[in-house]
């Protein structure tokens, strides 16, 4: 989709080794993977050398990794389903030597539990568009406040989903407060006009639309010295604002709300 193309194009722009890379897609065989592959092909001046899609029950990634290596891939975007399958793919990509010759690009980032499982191997991965990143606290105080509260309560780092959920909850509570009601229509109208500081940034909805203007977070996974919140590895959080990934309104892109 447009956000994926724009964020990937920005990642390539700011990462010299990706500019001359030979790009290849390895993913599960379902619509999202093919959408991601299409997004890569939509990036200007990118050299795309192939793609391969695996059945959803795949556990042995060796044949698919071999195809990427045979194509001479030096950047592999991996729309593999989040969770254990993605963990296994990255571990096998490392074990079979793919990470020695290619950068692994995650289209939507890695869950932080998975980063912990990967350890040093996570440093072979770059995110092309995480929906949240706890290291945003380095420049955004609201993220730091949430991270500290989350760690005090749970004794572990706040993952992507926790940051997203907290942001959604703050938006909802802010709308209920403004509406003075929890009636659905009143809350929706309030959501259309509020802006709230959340762990993923200052959030509001696109005018005359239902698209939340959420930044994406680009950047590599790095070793932390010293560890923080119990995490030894984490993504560097470079925000890519929604004003760049969604420069036009929903209506201009053909999404028109009914009366």
Distance between CA 233 and CA 5 in Å, rounded?
A: 27
Which pTM was predicted?
A: 0.90
Q: Does residue 259 register a pLDDT over 50? A: no
Cα-trace Rg, the chain: 19
Q: Does 245 score more than 70 pLDDT?
A: no
Average pLDDT of the segment spanning 224-231: 96
CA 159 to chain centre: 12
- For residue range 168-211, what is the model confidence (pLDDT) as tens digits? 999 999 999 999 999 999 999 999 899 999 999 999 988 776 78
| Contact predicate 179/170, CB 8 Å | no
Side-chain-side CA neighbours of 255 within 13 Å: the count stands at 11
Domains and CATH numbers, the chain: 2-131+216-245 (3.40.50.2300), 136-212 (3.40.50.2300)
Q: What is the pLDDT of residue 247?
A: 62
For residue 173, is it left (φ>0), alpha (ψ between -120 and 50) or beta?
alpha
What is the pLDDT averaged over residues 54-65? 97
Beta strands at 47-54 and 125-130: parallel, antiparallel or unpaired? unpaired
Spatial CA neighbour of 95 closest among 73, 129, 69, 71: 69
pLDDT, one tens digit per residue, over 73-121 is 999 999 999 899 999 999 999 999 999 999 999 999 999 999 999 999 9
In this prediction, residue 38 carries a pLDDT of 93
For residue 244, name the pLDDT band (cuts at 50, 70, 90): confident
Coil vs helix vs strand at 96: coil
At 3 the pLDDT is: 57
Question: What local confidence, expressed as pLDDT, does residue 44 receive?
Answer: 86
**254 pLDDT exceeds 90?**
no
The enclosing H or E element of 125 equals strand 125-130
The 10s digit of each residue's pLDDT in 9-58 is 999 999 999 999 999 999 999 999 999 999 999 888 899 999 999 999 99
Q: What is the rounded average pLDDT for all residues in the chain?
A: 92
Residue 26 is predicted with a pLDDT of 98
Per-residue pLDDT band for 242 (boundaries 50, 70, 90) equals confident
Helices H / strands E in the chain, number of each: 11, 10
Strand-pairing partners, residue 235, are 221
CA distances from 227 to 57, 135, 156 (A): 35, 12, 11
Chain centre to alpha carbon of residue 78 = 12
């Amino acid at each position: 989709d447009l956000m994926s193309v724009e964020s990937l194009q920005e990642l390539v722009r700011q990462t010299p080794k990706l500019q001359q890379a030979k790009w290849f897609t390895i993913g599960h065989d379902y619509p999202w993977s093919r959408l991601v592959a299409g997004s890569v092909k939509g990036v200007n001046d990118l050299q795309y050398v192939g793609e391969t899609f695996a059945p959803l029950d795949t556990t042995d990634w060796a044949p698919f990794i071999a195809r990427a290596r045979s194509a001479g891939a030096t950047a592999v975007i991996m729309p593999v389903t989040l969770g254990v399958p993605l963990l296994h793919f990255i571990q096998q990509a490392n074990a079979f030597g793919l990470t020695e010759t290619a950068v692994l690009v995650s289209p939507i980032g890695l869950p932080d539990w998975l980063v912990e499982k990967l350890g040093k191997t996570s440093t072979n991965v770059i995110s092309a568009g995480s929906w949240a990143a706890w290291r945003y606290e380095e420049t955004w105080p609201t993220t730091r406040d949430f991270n500290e509260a989350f760690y005090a309560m749970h004794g572990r780092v706040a993952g992507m989903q926790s940051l997203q959920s907290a942001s959604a909850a703050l938006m909802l509570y802010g709308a209920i407060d403004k509406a003075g009601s929890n009636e659905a229509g009143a809350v929706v109208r309030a959501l259309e006009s509020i802006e709230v500081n959340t762990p993923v940034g200052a959030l509001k909805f696109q005018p005359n639309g239902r698209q939340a203007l959420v930044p994406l977070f680009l950047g590599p996974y790095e070793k932390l010295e010293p560890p923080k919140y119990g995490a030894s590895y984490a993504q560097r959080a470079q925000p890519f604002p929604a004003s760049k990934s969604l420069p036009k309104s929903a209506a201009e892109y053909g999404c028109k709300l009914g009366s």
